[in-house]
Amino acid sequence: MTKNAPFHRRMRYALSGIRHALTHERSFRTQVAFAFGVLAVLIRLQPGWLWTATVLGMIGLVLMAELFNTALEALSDGLHPEQAEFIRVAKDCAAGAVLVISLAATGVGIAMLADRLPRFW
């Protein structure tokens, strides 16, 4: 039972979920690769604390959305393995959520670059 498990055990469960997504989900690995690229840009540009916090927050939100999408897919496939319309809709909406936050993160990145590198705009 995980509800009132000690913190270290709950942390192990969370890390296990992340490890599963890294090893089984191409989309999550792609988002992690983009995150490392964005981190490299942050290190290079040193945009200031506010931009850094905003970009790091967006990275966290994108990865969180991918993990929720993975969880929803695993749950729906396990509970209802045949292709039902309501399962397709749920999966499509979860994928849409990942797309929305990814586009928002891209917008934040573009705004940061525009602010940090005005000579290019």
Confidence of residue 121 (pLDDT cuts 50, 70, 90): low
31: burial class by Cβ within 10 Å (0-12, 13-18, 19+)?
buried
The tally of domains found in the chain comes to 1
Catalytic residue among 66, 73, 82, 85: 66
Contact 66, 37 (CB under 8 A): no
Residue 57 lies in a domain: yes
Residue 9 lies in a domain: no
Average pLDDT over residues 93-109: 97
Quote the pLDDT of residue 119. 67
The model's pTM: 0.90
Domain CATH for 59 = 1.10.287.3610
Residue 111 makes CB contacts below 8 A (sequence gap 6+) with: none
Residue ranges making up the domain that contains 99: 26-120
Residue 73 lies in a domain: yes
Residue 13 lies in a domain: no
Residue 80 lies in a domain: yes
Q: pLDDT (tens digit, 9 = 90+) per residue, 2-53?
A: 678 899 999 999 999 999 999 999 999 999 999 999 999 999 999 999 999 9
Quote the pLDDT of residue 83. 79
Residue 21 lies in a domain: no
Please confirm, yes or no, whether 82 is among the known catalytic residues.
no
Q: Considering the chain, what is the average pLDDT of its residues?
A: 93
